[in-house]
Amino acid sequence: MSGPGVLHQLTGVIARHQGDIRSISIIEEHSAEARIYLELDLPGPTELLLEDMERLEVVRSASPVQSLQKIYGKRIIIIGGGAQVGQVALGAISEADRHNIRGEHISVDTIPLVGEQTLADAVRAVRRLPRVRALVLAGALMGGDIETAVREVRSEGMLVISLNMAGSVPEACDLVVTDPVQAGVMAVMAVADTAKFTIERLHRRVF
């Protein structure tokens, strides 16, 4: 069921089982029903938690599933102009495929956007997305509030890569790459455990 207090009841059951909630997603397909996905650290058997969940009147069924971290893994977000986004994605997807075959789990998300405020809002919103490990800014001109947003997300540990473009954004990023395909490749290499590449060991920041 969907409605006030449903989440409170579910989290009450989880608390009684000493579960630690790592992530929550609510997928509302109908006004009267919703699917709720929770990622938990649970010290006891999963079966006991599911049995107690299904005893609640608001729960139609409860079942275990693999975590999104295990299925989709680390995420790379590419934001900017359509043509540049497509070229960065080409490099990122090709490189991710190479690492995923070797056991990695890396997914690539893209969104073409224009406008300073729209881009700045998108950069800040990346902090609210789960499993994001790197942000790539792909465009010809970015500055102003976008630069401020980049510095904000970087201060919280987000890796930000930029194309070598006009404006002040490249000065605020961890890495600046001229070729968009190479930018996508380097973003994947930077987050992949199966790659021997760390940005901190680079002697220069612009390529």
Phi (first) and psi of residue 89, to 5 degrees: -60, -35
CA 159 to chain centre: 12
pLDDT per residue as tens digits for the range 126-163:
998 888 999 999 988 899 999 999 999 999 999 999 99
CATH number of the domain enclosing 89: 3.40.50.10550
Same domain, 51 and 101: no
Tell me the mean pLDDT in the region 19-39: 79
User: CB 138: neighbour CB atoms within 10 A?
Assistant: 27
Give Cα separations from 106 to 82, 94, 148 (angstroms).
22, 11, 27
Same domain, 86 and 185: yes
CATH number of the domain enclosing 56: 3.30.70.260
Same domain, 28 and 85: no
pLDDT per residue as tens digits for the range 71-125:
888 999 999 988 899 999 999 999 999 999 988 899 999 999 989 999 999 999 9
Contact (Cβ atoms closer than 8 angstroms) between residue 85 and residue 79: yes
List Cβ neighbours of 157 (8 Å cut-off, separation of 6 or more). none
Domain interval for residue 148: 70-201
Q: Is 206 among the domain residues?
A: no
Total structural domains within the chain: 2
pLDDT per residue as tens digits for the range 183-194:
999 999 888 888
3-state secondary structure of 57: coil
Question: Encoding tokens for residue 102?
Answer: 């070797």
Among 65, 90, 108, the domain-final residue is 65
Same domain, 120 and 182: yes
Contact (Cβ atoms closer than 8 angstroms) between residue 183 and residue 154: no
